[in-house]
Structure 1
Amino acid sequence: MTELVSYQLDDGIATLTLANGKANAISPDVITALNAALDRATEDKAIVILTGQPGMLSAGYDLKVMTASPQDAITLVTAGSTLARRMLAHPTPIIVACSGHAVAKGAFLLLSADYRVGVEGAFTIGLNEVQIGITMHHVGIALARDRLRKTAFQRAVINAEMFNPQSAMGAGFLDAVVAPEELMPAALAMARHFKKINLKSHAATKLKVRKTLLDTLDAAIAQDQISGLT
């Protein structure tokens, strides 16, 4: 059986690769595996690169779980929100190498990272929740409000506007867009840049900069557990 999240450590850089079927669905087991990989990266004091399969970072939460029952959906979203909060406070930099489509929770992975590089091509990036009949959760609203450009926030969250890689960079989902063959070299170049900075100062500064957001997410996680996805 293929690992849901593989872990490769090389010269202080940990590459985490999602591999959960064609859509790279974010399931409870994937979240458990991602948390375990982040635990390992913390122990290794490694810069993190998170990526997916060619053409797909993730199409979002596992729909089988999301439609099983309201409680199953709430439990999965809570775990995913807690993961996003963890990524935002991770002690070493997290780079997402977006290998293609990044939709719903896939796009929120981008909004939870320190640096995001995507690939050129006919790929879709964005938050389609209201398009598929899901009311955006409080954590999603707070995260998008903080990380997206002001001009794109309501278009992305309320209107479910989807972006191609270039317009996703303008909206705030990505920091750079490169040719597909340059994706991992670009991510590794940024990781090597991060290795030159003082990681203790990086971690402390990150927590200062994001304190208000992290506090807001803590309250939003609790609120979503009470109100559900309505």
Structure 2
Amino acid sequence: MMKGVVRLEFRGPVAILYMDYGENRVDGQLIADFNRALDQVESNPSIKALVTTGVGKFYSNGLNLRWMTQLAREGRLSELEKFHLERLLFLERLLTFPIPTVAAINGHSVAEGAFWALYHDYRVMRTKRGWFSLPEVHINLVLPQHIIQLTRNRVSGAVVRDALVFGKWYSPEESLQAGFVDQLAEPEELLESAIKLALDCLGKHGYERSALKAMKENVNKGVLEAAAEAKRNIVNIDHFKYARAAKL
């Protein structure tokens, strides 16, 4: 695993995954390193829960549009298609990961970064600093159905309209009120609060991993079906729309 991109810490039965990649923008490297960390967690039966967080003022600031633009301009469309497939496979993996998952949102969680937080079972956000937003409409990107379904699974009513259609930005307090996050914590208490929430998920007897994964698959069936359809349509993606968005 590359040092300084993703690293793991273990506190008893809880694995803490740190993203230390600047703004933690999502590209092929971040997904690959994140997946290697998940492999390590999943292969260790003594680990009962997972907490993820960022280092610095970003949980994640969305897609690495500059990197994607460079690939598009160089005509490396097969690499972009591979990346989009990896994103969808990562969604499925994290959404159905066989232990409880908690995102400890240490700062800004924007666009793809916000979706990564929503892939988790629970979210704890620090107070005082950071925005949560799904602002794709402001850069003329239309969200796919699996992301819309995922968001609807997490929040409802006017929040879906405000967040998805109009790309509203939410403060930590507004994120809690809207339902995007489950708890707020003071900055110095963020990790401990996320760890406690993860351990609380286990209850008295914990879970069989296979049963927990199956339940997550059932609950998120609509999201997974829409993601499967997206995988079938990867070859039809207009890769240059991301290049246009990167200029805005």
Question: Do Structure 1 and Structure 2 share a fold, with TM-score over 0.5?
Answer: yes
Contact 1:95 1:113 in 2 (8 A): yes
Q: Which of 146, 150, 157 is matched with 1:150 structurally?
A: 157
* Number of aligned residues: 229
Asked if structure 2 preserves the Cα contact closer than 8 Å seen for 1:65 and 1:76, the reply is no
- Cα deviation for residue 74 of structure 1 reads 4.8
Q: Does 1:60 align with 2:62?
A: yes
Partner amino acid, structure 1, of 2:28: P
Match of 1:199 in 2: 207
* Partner residue in 1 for 2:21: 20
Structural mapping, 1:76-115, within 5 Å:
76-115=83-122
Kept in 2, the 8 Å contact 1:67–1:73? The answer is no
Describe the SS at the equivalent of 1:26: coil
Give the Cα separation in 2 of the matches to 1:175 and 1:212. 22
Q: 1:220 aligns with which of 213, 224, 230?
A: 230
Task: Please give the alpha-carbon distance, in whole angstroms, between the structure 1 residues aligned to 2:231 and 2:182.
Answer: 27
1:39 maps to 39
The one-letter code matched in structure 1 to 2:8 is Y
Q: List gaps (5 residues or longer) in structure 1.
A: none
Decide whether the 8 Å contact of 1:103 with 1:126 is kept in 2.
yes
Structure 2 residues without counterparts, runs of 5 or longer: 242-248
TM-score (norm 1): 0.90
Deviation at 1:8, TM superposition (A): 1.5
- Deviations along 1:56-109, one digit per CA (max 9) or x if unpaired, are 101011122232218355543432232122111111111100001000111001
Over the matched positions of the two proteins, sequence identity in percent amounts to 27
Cα separation, 2, equivalents of 1:193 and 1:44: 20
Are 2:123 and 1:116 aligned?
yes
Find out whether 1:208 has 2:224 as its counterpart: no
Q: What value does the CA root-mean-square deviation take over the aligned residues? A: 2.1
3-state secondary structure, aligned to 2:141: coil
Which of 172, 195, 198 lines up with 1:165 in the alignment? 172
Greater CA radius of gyration, 1 or 2?
A: 2
Q: Secondary structure at the match of 1:102?
A: strand
- How far apart in 1 are the matches of 2:238 and 2:29? 21
1:90–1:144 distance in 2 versus 1, CA, 3 Å:
same
| Structure 1, 64-73 or 149-158: larger mean CA deviation | 64-73
